[in-house]
Every structure is written in structure tokens, then in C-alpha cells.
Amino acid sequence: MAENRSVFEFKQFSLSHGNPGLKISTEACLFGAWASLKARDHCLDVGTGCGLLACMIAQGDPTCAVKALEIHPDVAELASENFHSSPFKERLELIQGDVLTYTSEVPFDFICCNPPFFTNHLAAIDPARHMAIHADHLSPAELATSINRLLSKDGEFAVLYPPDVLALFEQNLQASGLYINEKVAILSNPGSPVLRIMARGSRNKNTIVQSKLHIKTEQGDYSPKFIELLRPYYIIFPS
């Protein structure tokens, strides 16, 4: 096991994470739980990292089969190890490759991505970490184009972005005939600024449904909405 690598224990699976790649974040877990409610059938997880979103989707819907793309070879190997040790290994497939050149004979019914988003930012020393967080490896425009190319006619997609980068992503979506249909703003607590936005979209242009989700209450406890979404996954929330 690599130095500084950790193991995150969920109710039905566990994931080694960090070194190489990023450690699992609270926002990513929240996004995975939310995305698993939207996912269906033939799914693609772009930039899977340690495999978090793919495993959460596989647990959330036993009818989903997930292909997980990871560009960094060492991180892809870590995800593959996590998949093979999971109870959903028959429905998970790791593909080491770049979404910009990846092709599929069958379009996907659901595509999810927790993409890199830093722009004009100091480079990370670790190459795997740099690739995971910097948008020069997958820009909002490139992700929009890739989703359009790989998504089925009636498919949906979900992304997790900071508000300013999501705005750039939306601008590029429209050129591809894709639209955001739902936005959920994630805040640390009711008085804090927006950390990230979970966005769901499709080829249909509808009125955008918008809501907020606080990770914690003003008193510092996990919020009821957070607990509801993460209860199937987090050991600290009894079933």
C-alpha cells in the first residue's frame, strides 16, 4: 500500500484512496449519493479516480452497469483494485484512457463526472494530483463535447463544479444542444458561500429546478437532507 494512502469504509464497500490521486471528499460523496438516484442502465463515470462515483452508483441501483474512465495509469490501477474487491465487481469496468479519445459502440444512458476545475492555478507537485484538479487536462468545453458525443438520445448527465466554472460549462453545453435541468447548491452551513453545485442535464431544454443543500446545520450537526442522502452509504448513519 502506498505511503499516506487511506481506506474509506462505506456500508457495503471500502475504497483505498489518495497517493496516487485525490482523497475522497465530503462533496464528492454527496454528489455520488445524489447521482446514484439519477443513474440508470448503461453508465459512464468520467475521471473515476479511486472509483467512488462508480461504486456508489452500482450500490444505489443494482440494474446499473458502470464503465469508469481514468486517464492516469497509477490511479486507474488503484480504481481497478477497488473494483475487484467490491461486491459490485461484475457490474464495474475500469478503462484506462482519455475521454477525449474514448469511443463506445453503445451510447450511455447516464454520464457522471466530478471534473478538474482549477484554472490559472499553481501546479501540484504530484502529477496524479495535478491531473485530477487542473482543468487544463479536461476543460469545461472538452467535457461538454465529450458528453454530447457519448450520451444517448434520451440520456442524462450529472457534474459537480464550483459556481463560476459551472457557468463556463453551461455556455459550452448549449453549443452541443445540451441543457442543465437541475441545480443543487452545496453549502457547508446555512450562512456559508456555495462550495459546489451538483447539476443534472439532458438534451431537453426545461425550466431549471434549483435548490440548496447544507452539509451541516447552524448548530454544527449534519443536516437532515445530508443524512437522508448518505444514510445508505455512511457507516455513521444507522439504517
Residue 225 located in a structural domain: no
- Nearest alpha-carbon partner for 1 in 16, 22, 14: 16
Kindly tell me if the per-residue pLDDT of 124 is higher than 60: no
129: in domain: yes
pLDDT of 3: 52
Question: Is residue 101 domain-resident?
Answer: yes
39 contacts 112 by C-beta, under 8 angstroms? yes
Handedness of CA 208, 214, 218, 223 (dihedral sign): positive
Q: How many domains does the chain have?
A: 1
| Nine-digit cell string for 81 | 483494485
Is residue 177 situated within a structural domain? no
Tens-digit pLDDT profile for residues 128-156? 444 444 445 789 999 999 999 999 999 99
Residue type, 124: A
* 121 and 134 Cβ atoms separated by less than 8 Å: yes
Q: Which helix (H) or strand (E) holds 52?
A: helix 52-60
* The three three-digit cell numbers of residue 122, written as one number: 499553481
C-beta of residue 183 within 8 angstroms of C-beta of residue 197:
yes
User: How far from 155 is each of 81, 108, 110, 170, 193, CA to CA, in Å?
Assistant: 29, 7, 6, 17, 31
Question: Do residues 68 and 98 touch, judged by C-beta distance below 8 A?
Answer: no
* Residue 96 belongs to a domain: yes
pLDDT band with cut points at 50, 70 and 90 for residue 4? low
The CATH number linked to 137 is 3.40.50.150
Question: Is residue 191 a part of any domain in this protein?
Answer: no
Contact 32, 229 (CB under 8 A): no
Confirm if 58 and 92 have CB atoms less than 8 A apart: yes
For 207-236, write each residue's pLDDT tens digit. Answer: 999 999 999 999 999 999 999 999 999 999
- What is the domain range of residue 51? 8-165
pLDDT band at 118 (very low <50, low <70, confident <90, very high): very low
Residue 136 has a pLDDT of 52
Q: Which of 5-19, 72-86, 115-129 has the largest mean confidence?
A: 72-86
> How far from 172 is each of 141, 160, 165, 179, CA to CA, in Å?
5, 15, 11, 10
CA dihedral over 38, 13, 213, 6, signed as positive or negative: negative
The letter for the amino acid at 209 is V
Q: How many degrees, rounded to 5, is the angle at CA 27 between CA 24 and CA 31?
A: 100
Give dist(CA 41, CA 59) in Å, integer: 13
CB-based contacts of 234, cutoff 8 Å, min separation 6: 10, 11, 29
Percent composition of the chain: helix, strand, coil (DSSP 3-state, to 5): 35, 30, 40
The grid coordinates listed for 97 are 484512457
For cell 452539509, what's the residue? 215
Instruction: Let me know: does 209 contact 181? Beta carbons within 8 Å.
Output: yes
Residue 110 resides in a domain: yes
Q: Is residue 135 part of a domain?
A: yes
